[in-house]
Chain A
């Protein structure tokens, strides 16, 4: 589904990712781990065409298409979804209007008809009820005045409504209590149908206990230094990056 080859990404003229390579197939769950500042968030931001990221070299194909040729909205409509580490407050834009607009933009991109308003409202309300999200979320403006947990839940709501093919979670578990983490895990797991893939960034294994990864990668010096399965994450939890020799000091 996703193929990254020899990718170099800079932020503010500082090279963060260097010769980065990664392949994600359909249905796979990948986890990216690493010390602070190694480029984990830069990776997902670069894939989402964040304005801070400058791709200076490399190729990225997504479902056979050159991802680097597409802008942020096109990448989203192709099926990419990044949940933000710190979701942005969009003042004055109603959350329900935003969700419906996003769904309709995706449909227009695929030459499909706009969503039926009544059906869409029902779908959203069903999701809110199933995942114990506060009903007020759809009445308020996008993330405006939301607590940290509510913002992450709003990310999940968007995920469930937009149904992307590649779900990228940038430290979705930060700032969440155990109940909220379970909710996130339930939402993500409900979408794993063998075709949908996940790329998770996390520091802690509490989320990984709930969303079982197929692959765990440790980033160091701008590229993947070590890969393994879930056991690598457990080992990391026990020994730390330093213990595994994958901290910034051990180059």
Chain B
């Protein structure tokens, strides 16, 4: 069955080339592909135990169910909620497959970070993966999307992060999904003085699209999104965001670095609106791209819509190649050109990975990258 053939589906929610953000980044063909909508049940999670790490509380998210050790019951609460709407119409796609969305509430501070490992098993399948996380205490979360067994799949993932007053949430997502496609639809609800730091690391998927819908409706809320996209071959990655500043003194800062080789294609389309009620707000957007081949390309469209004078705002998009002087300097010391490129590219990635506060998460990501040769 194809996604376009889902019963009662409002086809308007699937973006075509006529939608501005997707004009040069057409994803509609994946909705017309034949996929298997049956999910494999009773998976043996032991085969994924290598993704667990003793420095984390490890949770598996399989077929929209959470699997974790009993010890976490005192910190976490699991329930189900109805799907919401979003300015991003794709956010409602999963509601045509599942009745409700999974809801995880973090009630207390944890002494270790959470590692939420999403599992997808089976070739040529359509997976939904919906999770709302309500964060009531400071927390560090890693979301791992890894797959090297299955291929030709499509994942439609929803994430809603609600961060309570005066709470700080650091969430890192690392994606090493080989031979598949993933669309992640994000919504955020940040209460007063809440801080949400999101770091997205996109590596292996054929298509990885993140769409953010964030209304900053409470004073002093801060949303930081940092990302690295490292693509090659014909991989495509996109970051689309609809950020709206409504309350006073809210901050949004979106910075994505792209490292593109061979025929990779990326999209950076960020719309930040600062309403006239959002005095003293800050809105920043930045796309930096290093193009490593003649055929790689980036469509960068940072947009600010500002209705007040009392704010700070900046947007920018830069595109270039590796610094020739730096490359030459390394080569002049006997380092081969390929190794010199790798060293400089790694250093660019590291700048983003260092935005992740917790060392345990940075170390986990380093190991996962090594396994995946990215």
Which of A's residues lie within 8 Å of B, judged by CB? 48, 50-51, 71-73, 76-77, 82, 84, 87-93, 97-98, 101-102, 105-106, 109, 141-142, 158, 162
Contacts and interface: CB of A to CB of B under 8 A. Distances in A.
A92 B333 contact: no
Given A90-B344, A91-B347, A162 B329 contact: no
A90 B332 contact: no
A102 B336 CA distance: 9
* Most A C-beta atoms less than 10 A away, residue of B325, B333, B337, B344: B333
Contacts of B344: 90, 92-93
Nearest to A87: B329
A164 B319 CA distance: 37
Nearest to B354: A92
B344 to A, nearest CB: 7
Contacts of B343: 90, 93, 97-98, 101
B347 A105 contact: no
Interface string B332-348: 11111101100110111
Interface residues of B, number: 22
Interface of B: 324-326, 328-337, 339-340, 343-344, 346-348, 350-351
A62 to B, nearest CB: 14
A105 B335 contact: yes
Contacts of B332: 48, 72-73, 76, 82, 84
Nearest to A141: B347
A44 to B, nearest CB: 10
Given A51-B324, A84-B329, A98-B335, 5 more contacts: A71-B337, A73-B331, A76-B332, A92-B348, A102-B330
Contacts of A102: 330, 333-335
A90 B337 contact: no
Contacts of B340: 73
5 contacts: A73-B333, A73-B336, A92-B347, A93-B343, A105-B336
Interface centre among B324, B332, B344, B346 (most CB of A within 10 A): B332
The 8 A-B pairs with the shortest beta carbon distances in the complex, nearest first, are: A92-B347, A76-B334, A88-B329, A72-B331, A102-B333, A77-B334, A73-B331, A90-B326
A92 B349 CA distance: 9
B328 A72 contact: yes
A76 B329 contact: no
A106 B335 CA distance: 8
Nearest to B336: A73
Given A71-B337, A73-B337, A105-B339, A91 B331 contact: no
B115 to A, nearest CB: 27
A190 B288 CA distance: 45
B331 A93 contact: no
Contacts of B339: 101, 105
A73 B330 CA distance: 8
Contact of A98 (B333, B348, B350): B333
A96 B138 CA distance: 36
Nearest to A161: B333
B269 to A, nearest CB: 27
Nearest to B337: A73
